[in-house]
Amino acid sequence: MVQHRVRVHRSSEGPAKEDQLAHRIASVATDPVKVEPAVVEMVGNRIIDNAAVAAASLRRRPVRSARAQATRHPLDPGATIMGTPTSTRVSPEWAAWANGVAVRELDFHDTFLAADYSHPGDNIPPILAVAQHMGKDGRSLVRGIATGYEIQVALVKGICLHEHKIDHIAHLGPSAAAGIGTLLEPGTEVVYQAVQQALHVTTTTRQSRKGEISSWKAYAPAFAGKMAVESVDRAMRGEGAPSPAYEGEDGFIAYLLSGPDVEYVVELPAPGEAKRGILETYTKEHSAEYQSQALIDLARRLGPKVGDTSKVRAITIHTSHHTHYVIGTGSGDPQKMDPQASRETLDHSIPYIFAVALQDGEWHHERSYAPERAQRPDTVELWHKISTVEDPEWTERYHATDPNKKAFGGRVVVEMADGSVIEDEIAMADAHPLGARPFTRPDYVAKFRALADGVVSPEEQNRFLGLVERLPELTAEEVRQLTFTEDTATAPRDLPTSKGIF
């Protein structure tokens, strides 16, 4: 790996194009290295994972709205939309939009946490959509997805957006553009311009994940994917982008991040070095923000020890800075303690999540968020007894560069009314590669079958999974079939519809 030092430069001093971060990203994207077997396997796992959570969210309003928008933009050959017949083809940027919302809606797919946050599986919808439209085969698709993950992991390790309240899709736009660049091979100059353009148009504030969280939380990564497709298209036509996008004196770092006095270090593969970033990422067993995954597992373990939760006096979760301030009581968001809060807000409330998991011994993507569940009096009472505090030890482990030390859990202290104390801790979620039950291909398949049950017929499930098993050998036409169709026999007849401009 090569460490690239990135800082603000005055217009009069450069940097040279070849030294700019966007150009170095483009050089990685256009490096024709082979994809290692373990990476091929994991790309297939994440395609299955995305399909699983998309199937589970298919009938939810935000996903139906995005799908309705996309179907107004038919194109031949076009790309497919998950849930619709494979004969329904739309412009690839709109397929990326619809599928991106479906994948992100339940907050239930893969994650990577380092200096910043990310859901690198968000790279897959735009790259797959372009592959389908442009007639690319399975080998090219795998290469493109491997690049998308590689660049996103590198940016998330090297550049913190959260401290400046910039939403994490600012890393997704460039990574998806780079992945599309690997897929299409238009040359380093084109990818360089596309990466810069994608960064420029996907930089938004973090209010989308703060306060009263709306469905835009699911739409934001889809927007980044859509912009990545359009950025590559524009660059392929010979158009340039704001440059240098990262290092310019009026650019991204200068005015939106830490400014001219700070240097960032982004580590990227050396020429000829394989892209392994996807192997550092991890998926979710539970439909909730990743920093709650291990704590849900711990709550399930503590439930039998605690017993009657009405006898709990207080619960304190000692955890990392990020967990405390993003999904804990350190956020200062009253909505995180509100029984009337949206699903998106409850998904970012560890006091609520821990209370339900402790009482139910499980976490379910629908039942655990149901309004009647959130408003249950005994749950509200317990929920409001739970608080988080930052623990320097867990913050240090959160930021550790050694994957064997890096952890996203915490220590929980349960004080009972009789004065007794129950205490336990957990470092990794059970499904994490270093957890109690690391996810492998059978677990991804089981997740897909469970979430697709009643939405996608068993025959259609088998067809889709069969294609993934042969992923690098797929023909271009088979890549166009790499989706699933909803089982109309089980589809509700009374889902409300709404109309917009188109």
Q: 387 has which bridge partners?
A: 316
> Cis ω on the peptide bond leading into residue 15 (within 30° of 0)?
yes
Identify the DSSP state of 166.
B
* Encoded amino acid at 166, one letter: I
pLDDT at position 412, please? 98
CA distance 66 to 127: 18
pLDDT at position 147, please? 98
Alpha helices by DSSP H, listed for 159-247, are: 169-184, 188-201, 216-236
Q: Average pLDDT of 338-346?
A: 93
Convert the pLDDT of each residue in 10-40 to its tens digit. Answer: 998 889 999 999 999 999 999 999 999 999 9
pLDDT at position 260, please? 94
CA distance 249 to 202: 19
CA distance 169 to 172: 5
Q: Which of 143-152, 252-261, 490-499 has the highest mean pLDDT?
A: 143-152
Residue 273, SS3? coil
Q: With a cut of 90, say whether residue 498 has pLDDT above it.
A: no
Convert the pLDDT of each residue in 395-451 to its tens digit. Answer: 999 989 888 889 999 999 999 999 999 999 999 999 999 999 999 999 999 999 999
* Encoded amino acid at 141, one letter: L
Q: What is the mean pLDDT of the chain?
A: 96
Percent share of the chain, pLDDT over 90: 91
CB 277 within 8 Å of CB 352: no
24, two tokens:
């170095």
pLDDT at position 41, please? 98
pLDDT at position 497, please? 76
Question: What is the distance, to the nearest Å, from the Cα of residue 223 to the centroid of all Cα atoms in its chain?
Answer: 13
Q: With a cut of 80, say whether residue 217 has pLDDT above it.
A: yes
Q: Closest Cα partner for 231 from 182, 191, 188?
A: 191
CB 70 within 8 Å of CB 172: no
Q: Which H or E element spans position 311?
A: none
pLDDT interval class at 214 (50, 70, 90): confident
CA distance 196 to 174: 7
Convert the pLDDT of each residue in 158-213 to its tens digit. Answer: 999 999 999 999 999 999 999 999 999 999 999 999 999 999 999 999 888 777 77
pLDDT interval class at 81 (50, 70, 90): very high
Q: With a cut of 90, say whether residue 331 has pLDDT above it.
A: yes
pLDDT at position 47, please? 98
pLDDT at position 13, please? 87
Convert the pLDDT of each residue in 286-321 to its tens digit. Answer: 999 999 999 999 999 999 999 999 999 999 999 999
85, two tokens:
């017949």
Q: Average pLDDT of 447-468?
A: 98
474, two tokens:
């797929």
Identify the DSSP state of 500.
-
CA distance 107 to 168: 14
> Percent helix, strand and coil across the chain, each rounded to 5?
50, 10, 40
pLDDT at position 411, please? 98
17, two tokens:
């194009």
Q: 2 has which bridge partners?
A: 268
